Chain A
Amino acid sequence: MGSDVFEITVNVIKMLIIFLLMVQLVPILVWVERRGSAFIQNRFGPNRVGPLGLTQLLADAVKFLFKEEFVPPKSHALLYYAAPVLALIPGAIAFGGIPLSMPIDIQPFQMFGSEWGPYTFKFQSYDLDIGILFILAISSLGAYALLLAGWGSNNKYSLFGALRASAQMISYELAMGLSLVGMLMLYQTLNFSNMVELQKGPLHFMFFGKEILIPFLPNWGIFYQPLGFILFATAAFAETNRLPFDLPEAEGELVAGYHTEYGGLKMLLFYIGEYGHMMVASAVMVTFYFGGYELPFSLSDSLTGAVRGAFSSVNLGNVMAALVIHVVMLLKILFFLWVFIWVRWTLPRFRYDQLMDLGWKTMLPWSLANVLATAYLILMAGSAV
């Protein structure tokens, strides 16, 4: 946590802010989803409350809070109430592990009449060496929320939804993990910050003893593992239960799937959980394949240099530079969140057997082949990031 009062306080506030950032993005995403779907389907969407319908979300939040509170009879009350909370937790924990900007160096300074030593604050809630492994582990717990919601509400449609959800999540977890292995072999690290460091500069790698440099492309993971990225993105759609893989809540067949019996704030918690999973998936995609918080080439350095130059205090300059870089990361994440929404309103839903075929008979062999090919290339050609 930290060595003195100042560091501990800053770290606690930082964790709170990162959690609130995730939660506060949800209403904006709901607005983007509704307006975006309307745009794609040639409708208007919510446009009455406030400019562009933006305050519709506030009205919705009030509505969610004041809805009638009920438990379906013959349901298991404890599990019924626990499920929405459990839906929120994995996404919130996982999002804290991804670096959202560069570390902030703070020089020694005077405050309240005493010296406060030099600090380095990381722009993430916690920094584990096993980074991606922990995030995959925590995300895999998300299945319980759907399972408990389905079983706890004692409704056949909910149960069907829960069964589909858990089978789907288990099936695609495999392809998801394997699609990342190729990239991990190239990076030789599980830590997100190290990955971002490795993706700096123009595209350059060793190939059969020759150094190859392509100056007009950034050194991003997508250029090393395009197949891995496609597989990961597909698996991410399945893991977050978004269309075209939203069979757990297929409204044409299952009313609303695992959250049929939920309303009001409990329903909203499921929404936050789903969007939280999407944010984690987008952030992992950005960090693995699109250079993390860094801009391509050395634009990051010149940008932060300019920001630092604008402030007389070194510490304030460092904080502001990190915030500017954080906006870059946020924009990248928002782009992939838009892709999630875009795909949802473009593709139709899969049938259940098609879903399982895609997971086990297409994506698993392809990701295994990707791992083997990458290992072979690294061994033979000696190419590494």
Chain B
Amino acid sequence: MAEIVLFYLLAAATVAAAVGVVMHENPLLCALHLVLSMLGVAGLFFLLQAPFVGAVQIMVYAGAVMVLFVLVLMLIDTNQDDEKFSGGNISALTKGLSVGVLSGLLTSIILRTPQSLQRSVTYEAYEVIDIAKLLFTKYVLAFELLGVLLLVIPVGVVALSRIRGGTHDR
């Protein structure tokens, strides 16, 4: 019972925050709503008996990635650059397209989901050590490739910032 109440509370908060992301004009407030939405998703993971995924969701997305987003957005003068964020025909076209694609995807998934409360598959709650074993044995190639991808990004950023001038110009 308590779990159902918690689920609806968290789900409502997550969706409300996600709506806030697209409805706000100020990009900083959008980013902050995204943080709230991510925290809600983390809470849903905790409800699904997956505390590891929930904690990683908070640590990586809410705690690290979004802090950097907010950091960059704070440096933008929102009074002047407002139009760059919302306005223009190309921007409107991409918005319309992405909304169409996303809502199409969502409705098709919702329609394909069996509407019964009976769970067809039960998943075992994974311990951290099981996840670690899977990551370093079965999925080691994908895991390492992702690591390489993440390494390429900072190296690329440093290289670009040195070529195009700025504080690290040679």
Contact = CB atoms under 8 A, between A and B. Distances in A.
Contact of B74 (A147, A169, A170): A147
Interface in A306-350: none
A128 B51 contact: yes
Interface residue range, chain A: 20 to 34
A327 to B, nearest CB: 31
A137 B55 contact: yes
A170 B67 contact: yes
A182 to B, nearest CB: 15
Contacts of B51: 128-130, 134
Nearest to B129: A188
Contacts of A235: none
Interface in A93-150: 128-130, 133-134, 136-138, 140-141, 143-144, 147-148, 150
B28 A170 contact: no
A163 B74 contact: yes
Interface in B57-100: 58-59, 62-64, 67-68, 70-71, 74-75
A138 B68 contact: no
Interface residues of B, number: 21
Contacts of A162: 74
Contacts of A190: 128
B70 A137 contact: no
B52 interface: yes
A167 interface: yes
A130 B67 contact: no
Contacts of B58: 137-138, 140-141
Contact of A133 (B52, B67, B70): B52
Contacts of A159: 74
A148 B128 CA distance: 33
A270 interface: no
B124 interface: no
The secondary-structure label for the interface of chain A is helix
B56 interface: yes
Contact of A143 (B52, B55, B63): B63
A137 B56 contact: yes
A188 B129 CA distance: 9
Contact of A134 (B55, B67, B68): B55
B92 to A, nearest CB: 28
A169 B59 CA distance: 13
A166 B62 CA distance: 13
B74 to A, nearest CB: 5
Contacts of A134: 51, 55
A129 B127 contact: yes
A174 B59 CA distance: 11
A130 B70 CA distance: 28
Nearest to B68: A170
A151 B28 contact: yes
B112 to A, nearest CB: 33
Given A129-B127, A130-B128, A151-B28, A136 B71 contact: no
